[in-house]
């Protein structure tokens, strides 16, 4: 009877679980039916209000509905850079829009190329004699990159601004792995290919340190040049080189310090900021709450202005964003099979007259990178012009995919290069012996049962893997050489895994010209014989689940119109702790996951897709719950 009772409880539990699942699906369907898409009718005269909560990305990532709902963790909000730029450009010429307002209270950040492109769009609004206003509790580097292009920068009286500059630390696990008696077998080519150094060393090698100093130094120079050009009166030297005296001069009041250094224009709370905007654009007729003003939100405005296009032919754009992986992964990560499938579908469309490949990736699987490159090459085989546009990062595998193209566009702030490959295999023979496990058997050849994580690798296996990595590196050099008109030796001299900023990469011959995606589209259309402005841009996108936005809304408990918790300076630094956990998770996955030969860039900024950040947020939450017990 005891067994029957337990079995009955299991059956009842399964039944209750299924009921909950079906109820959830029912309410999801009901909510989906009741939720309308952004309504263009919501656009009215006033300000274009852009809530910048979250991160700016090249391509929105998918949401795993079950893991998100079960964790009750709202995914980090993602804003596609192209949507923001299209809306801001539209605001410049739309008579209904009197000003553009950026709410940076919960802004996390984005890549330097994206920040500059959005800033230039804000400049076009100001050139149309329309003011741009920003508000935040705390301004960091990315906040200031955008805000520098504003007419008025407001900060909360309890807030401030801090400029840190690019760079930081990586984690190194050699001593930990030695204590655990874990052996890491590394197969790599490239003196500067430092992606495997965290498993071999306790600190950065001199070549890696030299490369980072050069790269981050160039990015820092570009950031300062862009910000001071947009805001000439800013005193960056005092803020970044005499920080202690700068803060002490204002008795620790960081908002006053920011005002004195020209980082901000006004100090005031959100109500005072709203009243200032209302003076420019008019009061809100729908609400009499303090600090409200007439405004249109981003999504309805985008729906209202629509997409412009001509009749001269389609320029297809495929996006390679995030880590390049094998299979159908993405959007938000670049699954080789998924992206090549999109390309092959477009290849058979007679309306497609040109292709632009937009890359924002630190690389990843060499096999998946080659799969994408082959699909791109099919367009060139049909004499369809192909341009590649680099965004923030196009390194290692992100550069591999660009070797089948007619022209490469990049920005000075782009991170590229990292031409090198590696593979990592951990073995546990010493750990096993320590706990009393021994491996023994019979091999017909030295490769039988290899790679063996317990018995270790044989010398023949070592030679096999190293030879394979060297061969792939040679193929990488050959593809770059054929694409750039260089010999293998010339490519090798600037390769070896070294990472370059866009300006240096252009001098080295890895990039053809500076320019954004609009320049790449115009060049491709010209090569296809389409008259200026008569082309239609078509993004090749995967069919994302219609539940994505719905899931985000269900797990987001904020009230309508609430932008979330405002981030002060301590919150900005707390986000770095979250990023640290994300880095640990990525490093562990790279060591223990099932991966082939990798063309990946460690020096490149960590990917900022929602899944990675949500994973780190979840880890932080679990740790907090444990400590609270």
Tens of pLDDT, residues 215-274 = 999 999 999 999 999 999 999 999 999 999 999 999 999 999 999 999 999 999 999 999
Task: Output the average pLDDT for the chain.
Answer: 83
**Each residue's pLDDT tens digit, 147-190:** 999 999 999 999 999 999 988 888 898 899 889 898 888 887 76
Band (346; pLDDT cuts 50, 70, 90): very high
- Choose among 303, 141, 120: nearest CA to 216: 141
Confidence of residue 3 (pLDDT cuts 50, 70, 90): low
Q: What is the pLDDT of residue 169?
A: 81
Which tens digits make up the pLDDT trace of 407-444? 999 999 999 998 988 888 888 888 888 888 888 888 88
Highest mean pLDDT among 54-68, 125-139, 601-615: 125-139
Helix, strand, coil proportions of the chain in percent (round to 5)? 50, 20, 35
Q: Which residue has better confidence, 605 or 425?
A: 425
8 A C-beta contact, residue 406 and residue 357: no
The angle at the Cα of 312, spanning 309 to 317, to the nearest 5 degrees, equals 60
Cα–Cα distance, 150 to 130 (Å, whole number): 10
Q: Which pLDDT band holds residue 593 (cuts at 50, 70, 90)?
A: low
Kindly provide the b/e burial profile for residues 397-406, where b requires at least 16 CB atoms within 10 angstroms of the residue's own CB.
Answer: bbbbbbbbbb
Q: pLDDT value at position 610?
A: 40
Q: Exposed/middle/buried for 411, CB within 10 Å: 0-12, 13-18, 19+? A: buried
The pLDDT of residue 416: 94
pLDDT band at residue 577 using 50, 70 and 90 as cut-offs: low
The backbone torsions φ and ψ at residue 200, rounded to the nearest 5 degrees and listed phi first, read: -115, -30
What is the model's pLDDT at position 53? Answer: 92
Lowest mean pLDDT among 390-399, 455-464, 496-505: 455-464
When pLDDT is cut at 50, 70 and 90, the band that residue 7 belongs to is low
Q: Does the pLDDT value for residue 487 go beyond 70? A: yes
Burial 201-211 (b: 16+ CB within 10 A, else e): eeebeebbeeb
pLDDT of residue 614: 40
Split at pLDDT 50, 70, 90, the class of 620 is very low
Bigger pLDDT: 620 vs 393: 393
Q: Are 466 and 188 in contact (CB under 8 A)?
A: no
Q: What is the pLDDT of residues 28-67, one digit of tens each?
A: 555 554 444 455 557 889 999 999 999 999 998 877 666 6
- Most confident option among 3-7, 36-40, 497-501, 577-581: 497-501
pLDDT at 184: 86
Tell me: pLDDT of 103 over 90.
yes
Q: 421 with 599: CB under 8 angstroms? A: yes
Distance between CA atoms of residues 69 and 462, nearest Å: 45
What domains appear along the chain, each with residue ranges and CATH number?
Answer: 43-163+231-306 (3.90.226.10)
């Amino acid at each position: 009877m005891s067994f029957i009772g337990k079995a009955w409880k299991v059956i009842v539990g399964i039944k209750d679980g299924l009921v909950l699942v079906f109820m959830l699906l029912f309410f999801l369907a009901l909510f989906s039916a009741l939720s309308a898409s952004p309504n263009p009718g919501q656009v009215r005269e006033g300000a274009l209000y852009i809530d910048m909560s979250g991160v700016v990305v090249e391509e929105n990532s998918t949401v795993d509905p079950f893991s998100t709902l079960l964790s009750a963790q709202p995914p980090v909000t993602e804003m596609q850079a192209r949507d923001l730029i299209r809306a801001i450009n539209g605001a410049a010429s739309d008579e209904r829009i009197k000003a553009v307002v950026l709410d940076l209270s919960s802004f996390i950040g984005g890549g330097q190329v994206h920040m500059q492109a959005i800033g230039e769009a804000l400049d076009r609004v100001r050139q149309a004699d329309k003011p741009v206003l920003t508000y935040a509790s705390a301004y960091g580097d990315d906040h200031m990159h955008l805000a520098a292009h504003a007419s008025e920068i407001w900060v909360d009286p309890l807030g401030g601004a801090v400029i840190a500059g690019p760079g930081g630390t990586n984690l190194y696990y050699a001593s930990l792995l030695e204590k655990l008696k874990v052996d890491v077998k590394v197969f790599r080519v490239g003196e500067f290919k430092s992606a495997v150094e965290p498993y071999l060393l306790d600190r950065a090698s001199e070549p890696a340190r030299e490369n980072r100093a050069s790269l981050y130094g160039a990015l820092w120079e570009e950031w300062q040049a862009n910000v001071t050009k947009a805001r000439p009166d800013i005193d960056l030297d005092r803020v970044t080189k005499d920080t202690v005296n700068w803060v002490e001069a204002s008795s620790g009041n960081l908002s006053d310090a920011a005002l004195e250094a020209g980082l901000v224009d006004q100090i005031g709370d959100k109500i005072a900021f709203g009243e200032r905007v209302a003076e420019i654009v008019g009061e809100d007729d729908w609400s009499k709450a303090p600090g409200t003003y007439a405004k249109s939100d981003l999504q309805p405005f985008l729906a209202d202005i629509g997409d412009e296009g001509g009749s001269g032919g389609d320029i297809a754009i495929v996006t390679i964003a995030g880590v390049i992986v094998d299979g159908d992964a993405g959007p938000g990560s670049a699954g080789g099979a998924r992206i090549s499938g999109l390309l092959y579908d477009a290849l058979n469309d007679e309306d497609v007259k040109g292709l632009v490949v937009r890359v924002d990736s630190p690389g990843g699987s060499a096999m998946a990178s080659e799969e994408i490159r082959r699909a791109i090459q099919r367009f060139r085989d049909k004499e369809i012009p192909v341009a590649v546009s680099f965004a923030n990062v196009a390194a290692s595998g992100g550069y591999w995919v660009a070797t089948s193209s007619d022209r490469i566009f990049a920005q000075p702030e782009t991170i590229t290069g990292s031409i090198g490959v590696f593979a990592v295999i951990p073995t546990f023979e010493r750990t096993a012996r320590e706990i009393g496990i021994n491996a023994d058997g019979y091999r017909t050849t030295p490769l039988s049962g290899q790679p063996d994580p317990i018995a270790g690798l044989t010398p023949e296996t070592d030679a096999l893997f190293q030879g394979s990595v060297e061969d792939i590196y040679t193929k990488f050099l050959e593809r770059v050489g054929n694409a750039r008109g260089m010999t293998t030796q010339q490519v090798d001299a600037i390769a070896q895994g070294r990472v370059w900023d866009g300006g240096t990469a252009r001098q080295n011959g890895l990039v053809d010209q500076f320019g954004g995606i609009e320049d790449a589209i115009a060049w491709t259309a010209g090569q296809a014989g389409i008259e200026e402005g008569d082309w239609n841009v078509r993004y090749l996108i995967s069919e994302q689940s219609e539940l994505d936005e719905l899931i985000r809304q269900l797990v987001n408990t904020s009230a309508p119109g609430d932008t979330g918790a405002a981030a002060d300076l301590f919150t900005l630094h707390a986000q770095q702790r979250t990023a640290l956990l994300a880095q640990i998770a990525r490093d562990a996955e790279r060591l223990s996951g099932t991966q082939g030969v990798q063309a990946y860039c460690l020096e490149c900024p960590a990917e900022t897709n929602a899944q990675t950040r949500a994973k780190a947020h979840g880890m932080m939450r679990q740790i907090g719950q444990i400590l609270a017990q």
